[in-house]
Amino acid sequence: MDSNNINGQYQGQYPNGVQPQYQQQQYQQPQYQQPVYNIYQTPWVPEELRPISMWGYFGYELLFAIPVIGFIALIVLAVGASNRNVKNFARSYFCLAIIILVFILIIALLGGGAIFFSGMKF
């Protein structure tokens, strides 16, 4: 009789002649998670084309409304802003300021002062 064969069982690799029983593990697919996108930091839009939020427009309008500092900031942003949307908004605001200034000058030259002083008695 062979020393590796006791009662017809193979005992070469397994201790005590007990063959381990294998169970096939169940495959569990990982749960799907929706990717999280941050709308303010979209990586596929370059910085120079990044859109301005509603609060950004509101903040720029408040900045431009300050009498002297706002006008300086308006000129600086209209000429040298790195974001194209900020630059275009500053240019449009600057054009609006020029149109209003011309309108006020025309009214003043055509006797608009008489409108303001017509109700006053000297």
Report the predicted TM-score, pTM, of the whole model to 2 decimal places: 0.56
Whether the Cβ atoms of residue 6 and residue 17 lie closer than 8 Å to each other: yes
Mean predicted confidence (pLDDT) in 86-104: 95
89, burial (CB in 10 Å: exposed 0-12, middle 13-18, buried 19+):
buried
pLDDT in tens, 104-120: 888 888 876 666 666 65
Whether the Cβ atoms of residue 99 and residue 91 lie closer than 8 Å to each other: no
pLDDT in tens, 11-60: 456 666 666 677 777 777 778 777 776 666 656 778 888 899 999 999 99
| pLDDT grade for 62, boundaries at 50, 70 and 90 | very high
pLDDT at 2 over 60: no
Mean predicted confidence (pLDDT) in 86-90: 96
**Residue 99, pLDDT score:** 96
DSSP 8-state code for residue 35: P
**Residue 116, pLDDT score:** 62
